[in-house]
Amino acid sequence: MMKTHISYIKTFLLTSLTIGFIIFLFVLSVDPYDKLGINVWNLENKAVSAGGNFKYSHIENVEKNEYQIFILGSSNANHYDPELIEELTGLKAYNYCVHNAQTLSYLAIVRHLIDKQVPKIIILNLDFFNLNENLPSDIRLIRSPIYKYLINEKIENKFDLLLKTYFSWKSFSDAWRLVYYKFLGKKIITHKKNGAYIYEFPPKLIETNFRYFEYEYKDFKIGDKNILHLEKIRKLAHHHNIKLIVTLGAINMAQIKEIKKRKQLYETFKSYKELSANIFGKVFDFSNESVAFYNGFPYGLDAVHPSSELSNIIVQKIFSSDSVDAPLNFGKILHSNSNKGGNN
pLDDT (average), residues 310-331 = 90
**% of the chain beyond a pLDDT of 90:** 57
Mean pLDDT for all residues in the chain: 87
d(CA 197, CA 322): 27
Q: How confident is the model at residue 292 (pLDDT cuts 50, 70, 90)?
A: very high
The 10s digit of each residue's pLDDT in 90-123 is 999 999 999 889 999 999 999 999 999 999 999 9
Q: How confident is the model at residue 182 (pLDDT cuts 50, 70, 90)?
A: confident
Task: Assess contact for 223 and 131: CB atoms under 8 A.
Answer: yes
β-strand 93-95 against 243-248: which pairing, if any? unpaired
pTM of the model: 0.80
Q: How confident is the model at residue 59 (pLDDT cuts 50, 70, 90)?
A: very high
Q: How confident is the model at residue 31 (pLDDT cuts 50, 70, 90)?
A: confident
Q: Among 89-103, 127-141, 294-308, which range has the highest average pLDDT?
A: 89-103
Task: Assess contact for 132 and 220: CB atoms under 8 A.
Answer: yes
Q: How confident is the model at residue 341 (pLDDT cuts 50, 70, 90)?
A: very low
pLDDT (average), residues 165-177 = 78
d(CA 159, CA 164): 10
pLDDT on residue 11: 87
Cα-to-chain-centroid distance, residue 203: 18
The DSSP result for 57-111, as a single string, is HHHHTS-TTS-SEEEE-SGGGTT--HHHHHHHHSS-EEE---TT--HHHHHHHHH
Going by C-alpha positions, the residue among 308, 262, 312, 266 that lies closest to residue 287 is 266
pLDDT on residue 231: 98
pLDDT on residue 339: 44
Phi, psi of 343 (to 5 degrees): -85, 100
The 10s digit of each residue's pLDDT in 188-197 is 677 889 999 8
Q: Answer yes or no: is pLDDT of 70 > 90.
A: yes
* Range from 67-71, 139-143, 247-251, 280-284 carrying the lowest mean pLDDT: 139-143
Q: How confident is the model at residue 200 (pLDDT cuts 50, 70, 90)?
A: low
Q: Answer yes or no: is pLDDT of 314 > 70.
A: yes
SS3 307: coil
Task: Assess contact for 303 and 252: CB atoms under 8 A.
Answer: yes
d(CA 190, CA 287): 26
* Range from 55-59, 78-82, 269-273 carrying the lowest mean pLDDT: 55-59
Per DSSP, 294 falls in state G
Q: Answer yes or no: is pLDDT of 56 > 60.
A: yes
The 10s digit of each residue's pLDDT in 232-254 is 999 999 999 999 999 999 999 99
d(CA 90, CA 84): 10
Taking residue 148's Cβ as centre, other Cβ atoms within 10 Å add up to 11
pLDDT on residue 143: 66
Phi, psi of 117 (to 5 degrees): -130, -175
Q: How confident is the model at residue 137 (pLDDT cuts 50, 70, 90)?
A: confident
pLDDT (average), residues 202-229 = 87
pLDDT on residue 161: 45
Domain annotation for the chain: domains and CATH numbers: 50-166+186-335 (3.40.50.1110)
